[in-house]
Structure 1
Amino acid sequence: MSRWGITLPLTGVPLTAHRSLVERLPDLGFTDIWSAETAGTDAFTPLALASQWAPTLRLGTAIVPVYTRGPGLLAMSAATIAELAPGRFVLGIGTSSPVIVNSWNAMAFDEPFKRSRDTLRFLRAALAGEKVTASYDTFSVSKFRLERPPVPPPQVMLAALRPGMLRLAAREADGAITNWLAPSDVPRVRAEVGPDTELVARIFVCPTTDAEAARGLGRMMISSYLTVPVYAAFHEWLGRGEALKPMHDAWAAGDRKGANAAIPDSVVDDLIVHGSVDACRERIAEYQAAGLDTPVIAVLPTGEDPAALALSLTPPG
């Protein structure tokens, strides 16, 4: 099945105002809705609403941090959405970032690989209805059992960027979730997870023919994200280390304006989809042609109605 997803909620649109948009998505060719969790809505509430508005769409979190909820609460939240959308919910988990985990949520960002692996193993057991007593490397759980285990249990996917986490996703999860990549990067990521693992990626899309405006927004986003160490390492692995070095140097010196200016147009055009709506749709399809299973569109602000823009980004053909 060819999938085509969108990130909700849209920036600037109230949660309850999404109903008419969500109800139209299946008829337009969309198959998936994916939420996110940074400092806006939590990841689960928008999906609870969408589960009742469009009872055929697959719903996913991309992603829920493994640190900011206890293991039991994370299982309970996932089980709740899985009960609302039986067989249609995917729990996407990941490490998030030190800013979100430590600076905003007062949690220690320790041993991210092990914490992801341990949380994944706990969730597998808990969501299957098992009584879990286990000492993992990064936490222990004693006698936890869901009172309302979902039937069927939801799939659990893992956010992954570099080879170690990508291989863990392929080995122990139901798929890998990634972002901040170009179509040309997909084969390298695909090679780490193999041909049979579902690969999901959030794609940032700015549907405007004002290339300078799109690049300006793209530069601000790239400097904010790709200076985070895990993303810096990801793009070093993808081969953008030299191209992004001037940005990193300026950022480290406290020169935010200089960091933005140092990002080449070619890097922005690689990582931010922009242009006419038709050009954007064709560019998104390039990701699928390169080996991506599920593109998840994140609509960036252009000054136009975000709901209308989202509805226009239908699958080509």
Structure 2
Amino acid sequence: MRLGYHIGYWTTGPTPGALEAIVRAEELGFESVWTAEGYGSDAFTPLAWWGASTSRIRLGTNIVQMSARTPTATAMSALTLDHLSGGRFVLGLGASGPQVVEGWYGQPYPRPLARTREYVEIVRRVVAREEPLTFDGEFFQLPLAGGTGLGKPLKSTVHPLRRRIPIHLAAEGPKNVALAAEIGDGWLPLFFSPRSDGFYRAALAEGFARRADGAPDPAEFEVAASVPVIVHDDVEQAADMIRPALALYIGGMGAKGVNFHHDVFARMGYADVADKVQDLYLSGRKQEAAAVIPTRLVEDTSLIGPPAKIRDELAAWEESVVTTLLLRGDAATLERVADVLS
């Protein structure tokens, strides 16, 4: 099981101690470091700024929101970062949800899986740089149809350092997970539980069966899961540190009826809990929403408690499809967690 470091979202400003933690993660043997974006800081800039102080660790986005940029603009950033990092870049992409896509980016949210398929294909063509780019899809047309008529097919002025940059897809539903296995080099799950391993293995197998000829071996497919790890003698106190974030995602990260995070926990067997959390959160009772989350739900998607308990529970993660655990925290937290997990 490999370890990665997820910096997470900025709040009021840059994550305190992020550079120190990234440098320490590389020293500790962490395999990758990842940035995020929502509707504040972007994912590319911090990765380039802080990543410049590293030499070995892979640099990934978890995730770049597709509606924030055209596929060619994303491909330009990927090409640039791959060159600057000496071939260490990983492009993590995600569709987000309609509240952000339509509310923040002002883009439509139709058929996100079909849109993702086109988006990834264009990025791959730009990076491969085999011929001037033309694309006639449902969502993207290059050159633009119906414009001035002066658009022309172009190739990137930059030759790629690698003709195939790894692309990982963030996905929670079974169809999107299958799509990640079909067209991607990795999957970025959120709220993964070893108890759901069989469900996700089936979705991945469906996607692997549809892979095109010449695609990388499925054995090389990466599953990098963001997993809260809290080393603490008191399990309940550790769970309390995670409950507010779970309440936010289950209850507030999406409209009622269109919240993919809520649906993950419903499929896991917590439909009643998820509904209650959502009702409380959307009515402004955020602390009550967090309080109704049972400890067993936290333990299903996290590693919490004393070192011996965490080590025992880690076995289930090691037997799952997950290949990399993405941890969060400052440098001291990474050191402590790495010691427990090693």
TM superposition score normalised by structure 1:
0.86
CA distance in 2, matches of 1:218, 1:175: 26
Of the two, which has the highest radius of gyration?
2
Greater mean deviation of Cα atoms: 185-194 or 60-69:
185-194
Contact 1:71 1:122 in 2 (8 A): yes
CA distance in 2, matches of 1:17, 1:221: 21
Contact 1:284 1:295 in 2 (8 A): no
2:189 matched residue in structure 1: 178
1:25 matched residue in structure 2: 25
User: Structure 2 counterpart of 1:206, which letter?
Assistant: I
| Residue 14 to residue 163, structure 1, CA distance change in 2 (3 Å) | closer
CA distance in 2, matches of 1:11, 1:286: 31
Residue segments in structure 1 that go unaligned for 5+ positions in a row: 300-305
SS at match of 1:148: coil
SS at match of 1:82: helix
Cα displacement (A) at 1:39: 4.2
2:36 matched residue in structure 1: 36
1:273 matched residue in structure 2: 303
2:104 matched residue in structure 1: 104
| Residue 307 to residue 26, structure 1, CA distance change in 2 (3 Å) | closer
1:157 matched residue in structure 2: 168
1:293 matched residue in structure 2: 323
Paired positions, count: 310
User: Structure 1 counterpart of 2:55, which letter?
Assistant: P
Give the 5 Å matches for 1:174-253: 174-194=185-205, 196=219, 197-227=221-251, 228=254, 229-253=259-283
CA distance in 2, matches of 1:278, 1:84: 41
SS at match of 1:100: helix
CA distance in 1, matches of 2:26, 2:3: 10
CA distance in 2, matches of 1:207, 1:237: 28
Contact 1:200 1:294 in 2 (8 A): yes
1:303 matched residue in structure 2: none
| Residue 84 to residue 295, structure 1, CA distance change in 2 (3 Å) | same
User: Structure 2 counterpart of 1:203, which letter?
Assistant: V
Cα displacement (A) at 1:122: 1.0
CA distance in 1, matches of 2:135, 2:10: 41
SS at match of 1:314: helix
Sequence identity percentage: 28
SS at match of 1:200: strand
Contact 1:15 1:46 in 2 (8 A): no
CA distance in 2, matches of 1:100, 1:288: 34
Cα displacement (A) at 1:4: 1.1
SS at match of 1:240: helix
Contact 1:35 1:47 in 2 (8 A): yes
Query: Could you say what the CA RMSD is over the residues aligned between the two structures, in angstroms?
Result: 2.7
